[in-house]
Amino acid sequence: MDAILVDASHLLYRSAHTFTSLENKAGHPTGVHFGVMRAIEHLKKACPNSFIVFTLDGRSDARRELFPAYKGNRKDQPETHGDIVHDFGMRMDITSLVKAAGCAIVHHPHYESDDLIGMLAYWPAHYLPINELDWKMVIYSGDDDFCQLVTKKVSILKPPAGKNTPERWMTEKEVQGEWGVWPESMALYRSFLGDSGDNIPRIPRIPRDRLQMAVAGKTCVSQFYDSDGLAYFNPEWKRKLTEFRSQAEINERLTRLPWAIEDVLPIEYDEYGCNIGNLKTILEKLEFSSFLKKIGALEELLGPTSYAKAVSSLAHRSKSRQNPAPGLEGASSGS
């Protein structure tokens, strides 16, 4: 069985701004729920028998402690999943809908959704009902930060972005084609480019073609500076890059996923997969007639026997879960 990791924050924002006019007879907005349900149906059709996991945002305190300006340009936007629920006026959280549809919920108060996806990608067999030797993982998000996690087993499915950008897959080859570097060098590469969305500074006007050549085959900032990274630049750029080193090291820590790997992640789900009774009740409250009309087809799509058995086996496995990374206590992806 394969796994699909859904960046819930990205999906909620996209759904809220796509289905803005949807509401039930009581006047409660339901566009977010409609987008979530449609995504679940779409993903199960695209990847049958896959185990779907929704990751919810916690706080980014650790990153702000390292770099107080981190996401300082987002003061008008909700930060955690709870803030999103409040700001979107959701009377019913998506978690009940997600679990009734047989999907899992992962949340940690101290980690962002990106970090949770990174932790699941780092230690998949510990958390997910997959075959340890034969599995594939799909990250469902439009966030380019996940390009660093792409491997032969991990790919990204990017949702449509407007009418002119259709849904598309990102494999190792696509990452290299779009960014000019392979996934293993993406965190290093973006350490110099920065991220305006997260308020992470960059070296202005740095020549990208030179930078792409300089980071090729390298995976971290120290490797860049301590090997031949600076040799690709003229004296002026060498000076600027040398002055930027301390910020580049901070940027790498902010950018690299996950923030940590030592914590055990709490996973919530219906132990036996899709609960069609609960799902039908929720769809009725949301007044989603289009989904209610095909409830039988949804039950067949979301709750096949093999899928329910896999979820049940994960439930029994989770009861004896210990530290997911023995020997790595205190370690982090930035060390």
In angstroms, the CA 27 to CA 130 distance is 42
pLDDT tens-digit readout, 103-118 = 999 988 889 999 999 9
pLDDT tens-digit readout, 1-12 = 689 999 998 898
pLDDT tens-digit readout, 295-318 = 999 999 998 777 777 777 777 666
Residue 88 confidence (pLDDT) above 80? no
Are residues 181 and 174 in contact, defined by beta-carbon separation less than 8 angstroms?
no
What CATH number was assigned to the domain covering residues 183-255? Answer: 1.10.150
pLDDT tens-digit readout, 240-251 = 999 999 999 999
Predicted model pTM? 0.90
In angstroms, the CA 230 to CA 226 distance is 9
Residue 329 confidence (pLDDT) above 80? no
In angstroms, the CA 86 to CA 136 distance is 35
Residue 79 confidence (pLDDT) above 80? no
Helical segments of the chain, H only: 8-18, 31-46, 61-66, 81-87, 94-100, 113-122, 124-127, 172-179, 186-193, 208-215, 221-226, 235-243, 245-255, 276-286, 289-292, 295-302, 305-318
* pLDDT band at residue 333 using 50, 70 and 90 as cut-offs: very low
Let me know if domain 3-172+258-318 sits in CATH 3.40.50.10330: no
Three-state SS letters, 242-304: HHCHHHHHHHHHHHCCCCCCCCCCCEECCCCCCCHHHHHHHHHHHCCHHHHCCHHHHHHHHCC
List the structure tokens of 90.
């959701």
pLDDT tens-digit readout, 151-194 = 999 999 999 887 788 999 999 999 999 999 999 999 999 999 99
List the structure tokens of 293.
């009309």
Nearest Cα to Cα of residue 2 among 125, 170, 101, 118: 125
Share of the chain above pLDDT 90, in %: 59
147/21: higher pLDDT: 147
Segments making up each domain of the chain, as ranges = 3-172+258-318, 183-255
List the structure tokens of 130.
């997959």
Please give the pLDDT value at position 211: 97
What is the DSSP pairing of strand 3-7 with strand 51-56?
Answer: parallel
Are residues 66 and 254 in contact, defined by beta-carbon separation less than 8 angstroms?
yes
Peptide bond into 304 cis (omega under 30): no
A 10 A CB-CB count for 321 gives 14
Residue 233 confidence (pLDDT) above 50? yes
